[in-house]
Amino acid sequence: MRVITGIARGRRLTAPEGLDVRPTTDKVKEGIFSAVQFELEGAVVLDLFAGSGQMGIEALSRGAERAVFVDSSAVSLRCVAENLRTTGLSRQAETVRRDSYEYITAVSEQFDIIILDPPYRQGHIGRILPLAAKKLRSGGTIICEYEREAPEPEAPDGLRLRKIYRYGRINAALFVRPEAEDDEI
């Protein structure tokens, strides 16, 4: 697992041991970030269910201004902190040990990009997507990664589905909040 491009390009990242963390493959990560490449410069990113932090770190490497990494696991957050040190991106990051549902409900901040890559086969996307939609800025994007067998997530109020990308056993759906002048949903 590595950072694909940007200022931390090629840096190796670590992931916590065990089945609870399922790192995104380079192929999927490259596809997702190619789709949002023009939205990253100066963006504030939220990486829920952060795991190793590789998705938020990729966003920072590609020009995001700041990223918040949320995970309930202390082991995962130690891994995120180590990966941030390895890439030299710690100053632009905040790590939060908290349940993702509690965090997204309580946080008052709005984000430009929200990354949802929860554990598979537990129905998290359908439950957390509407909560995340309330924290997305105008013109922002939510990236949902989920297993192919899961039901397609539906666009919450105020968002529209931009596209679903299919990568073998993994799907990634991008939802956008249209700019204020484009409010025709």
DSSP at 85? H
Q: What is the pLDDT of residue 26?
A: 78
pLDDT band of 18, cuts 50, 70, 90: low
Q: Is the pLDDT of residue 137 over 60?
A: yes
Percent of the chain's residues with pLDDT above 90? 68
- Residue 8, Cβ density class (10 Å: 0-12 exposed, 13-18 middle, ≥19 buried): buried
Q: How far apart are CA 153 and CA 37, in angstroms?
A: 23
Round to whole Å and give the CA distance between 52 and 69: 9
May I ask the CATH architecture of the domain 26-182?
A: 3-Layer(aba) Sandwich (3.40)
In our burial notation (b when 16+ CB lie closer than 10 A, e otherwise), range 48-73 reads: bbbbbbbbbbbbbbbebebbbbbbbb
**pTM to 2 decimals?**
0.91
* pLDDT tens column, 36-86: 999 999 999 999 999 999 999 999 999 999 999 999 999 999 999 999 999
- Name the percent of the chain lying above pLDDT 70: 94
User: What pLDDT score was predicted for residue 120?
Assistant: 79
- pLDDT of 104 strictly over 50: yes
Chain position carrying tokens 């090629």: 10
Average pLDDT, the chain: 90
Contacts of 108 (CB under 8 A, 6+ apart): none
